Amino acid sequence: MLGRFDWDDRRWLTGSEELEQGHRRDGRGVGGGTIHFGGVALRLWPEDFTRLSRDGVGADWPIRYTELEPYYDRVEAELALSGPEQMPWGPHQYAYPQPPHRLTARDLLIGRGMDQLGIRWTQNALAILTGRHEGRSPCMNYGYCQWGCKSRAKGSMHVTYAPKAVLAGAEIRTQARAVQLEVDDRTGEITGVLYVQNGTTQRQVADVYVLSAFCIEDPRLLLHSATSAYPNGLANSSGTLGRYLLAHVADSHFGRFEQPVHQWSTAPGTLLSHEHYGTQPGRRFVGGWSWMTSCLFPAEFAITLVRAGPGWWGPQLVDELQAYPHYAVLGTEGECLPSAENRVELSEDVDEHGVPRPRVTFSYGDNEHAMREEIHQLGTVILEAAGATSVLISEGNDHTMGGCRIGADPATSVVDPNLRSWDHPNLFICDASIFATSGGAQPSQTIMALATRLADHLDRSASTTPSAA
């Protein structure tokens, strides 16, 4: 409930690929999901914005990489990202503000396997300091990035943008839950937001409203706010609200080594390879994926072994659990194509505020299954080349996106190129729910770039829209 940092309220999940929820995927509280994100800070590539034009499937964004590039630059400087002097792939071809994190034993082992296969790799770009910045200390290598950074080295919003916003005059109301948007059925303008704070329902009015409750809760709130003039929910004249959910193919390969690897030390995701990113010739699928080293703490490791292992039980399971220091993890973030069948709807079940709980349907299609097959084959070969004596594969998904997608046509999208609702002139949506495609990299930097771009847009319009909620 409120006060906890994971959104673990009940959601009804259907589909062949149960969408991962809870820890590291849905955030609540000041800082949102960045409280427990891993800090990986990558840009989408130019081709990610034009998947339909390039490959004949998926979707195109109504904006291009070049329009977001200056905002990526600003976010990277604001957070003082750490990373290599030059990426071997993609659009980022210059040094990051701070030097990269040191490679770990797991990185060097897996990098050795990639070297033998001719796969290039480098240190990853992370929103985790390696030097001092604005009074925050560099990373202390606690390894607790996804449980909340104790040293404030990780660039979570509650230690970066939020304090500056408060100093500039913003007010943050904690322990508050938005439950309904009010609308003028004649003009389409949003006239207020109802929220519950410490058991009391209150109302806030503004000239401009920005919805950033993320990919499940954005559609849920808009669908629940339906009126007689908007019977299918607000911002839903296209019928696409809640549809086209996306989630990365996030499969993990666990390699067991003879020597201790100590996977938990330092931040996750310190090694990166984009050698298989994007559409490449000779494949049975479009798009691609990122390789990254990862880690699990003992409890998550144990759960994964039970769920993904070959039915280990008794002494054999205990042996594998005791071998935890000898395991290294190679993870993926694979592109997911949009499908209208992947969607958020309202169920008949309601929460304590009378808001219907969401029903979330999600399945991967043929493209993701073909990608997953190649990922499994190659991931196993990499770990075996690195010296792993056995390899276990755990299938999963990560980084929910979509549901309020951006577009150039009000008949097929929820928001316009400036993130404004096509149906409500003073409502904007800004988070991963507006993504038209997923790319094969973590979405956090793109979300922040979009937010910075929207802030500029609203600032330029401040003479006619002086206040926001």
Whether 2 is in a domain gets the answer: no
User: pTM above 0.75?
Assistant: yes
Q: Is the pLDDT of residue 129 over 90?
A: yes
Q: Mind listing the pLDDT tens digit for each residue in 277-291? A: 999 999 999 999 999
Whether 393 is in a domain gets the answer: yes
pLDDT at 1: 33
DSSP letter for 339, please: -
Whether 4 is in a domain gets the answer: no
Q: Is the pLDDT of residue 4 over 70?
A: no
Q: Is 314 exposed, middle or buried (0-12, 13-18, 19+ CB in 10 A)?
A: exposed
What amino acid occupies position 430? C
Q: Is the pLDDT of residue 147 over 80?
A: no
Whether 383 is in a domain gets the answer: yes
Contact criterion met (CB below 8 Å) for 194 and 182: yes
Spatial distance between the Cα atoms of 94 and 282, rounded to a whole number of angstroms: 30
Q: Is the pLDDT of residue 468 over 60?
A: no
Q: Is the pLDDT of residue 463 over 70?
A: no
**Burial annotation 398-433 (CB, 10 A radius, 16+ → b, else e):** bbbbbbbbbbeeeeebbbbeebbbbbbebbbbbbbb
Question: What's the CA dihedral at 81, 84, 88, 92 to 10 degrees?
Answer: 30
Q: Is the pLDDT of residue 85 over 70?
A: yes
The CA–CA distances, whole Å, from 92 to 83, 103, 192 equal 11, 21, 41
Residues with Cβ within 8 Å of residue 162, at least 6 apart in sequence: 30, 31, 172
pLDDT at 150: 83
Whether 164 is in a domain gets the answer: yes
Spatial distance between the Cα atoms of 40 and 81, rounded to a whole number of angstroms: 9
Q: Is the pLDDT of residue 226 over 60?
A: yes
Whether 245 is in a domain gets the answer: yes
What is the number of structural domains in the chain?
1
DSSP codes of every residue in 413-444: -SB-TTSBBSS-TTEEE-SGGG-S--TTS-SH
Higher-confidence residue: 268 or 163? 163
How many Cα atoms sit within 13 Å of 423 on the Cβ side?
A: 25
148: left (phi > 0), else alpha (psi -120 to 50), else beta? left
- Bridge partners of 390? 256
52-61, 123-132, 259-268, 372-381, range with the lowest pLDDT: 259-268
Mean pLDDT (the chain) is 92
DSSP-based three-state secondary structure for 308:
helix
What is the H or E stretch that residue 287 is in? none
Q: Is the pLDDT of residue 387 over 50?
A: yes
26 closest CA partner among 10, 41, 14 = 10
Residues with Cβ within 8 Å of residue 19, at least 6 apart in sequence: 13, 245, 247, 360, 362, 397, 400
DSSP letter for 157, please: G
**Measured at the alpha carbon of residue 419, what is the angle toward residues 278 and 228, in degrees to the nearest 5?**
125
As a whole number, mean pLDDT of residues 148-173 equals: 92
Containing structural domain, residue 337 = 12-460
Place of tokens 């994007």: 278
Whether 26 is in a domain gets the answer: yes
Percent of the chain residues past pLDDT 90, beyond the cut: 79
Spatial distance between the Cα atoms of 72 and 51, rounded to a whole number of angstroms: 20
Q: Is the pLDDT of residue 5 over 80?
A: no
pLDDT at 98: 97
Spatial distance between the Cα atoms of 341 and 359, rounded to a whole number of angstroms: 12
What amino acid occupies position 461? S
**Burial annotation 29-44 (CB, 10 A radius, 16+ → b, else e):** bbbbbbbbbbbbbbbb
Whether 469 is in a domain gets the answer: no
DSSP letter for 351, please: -
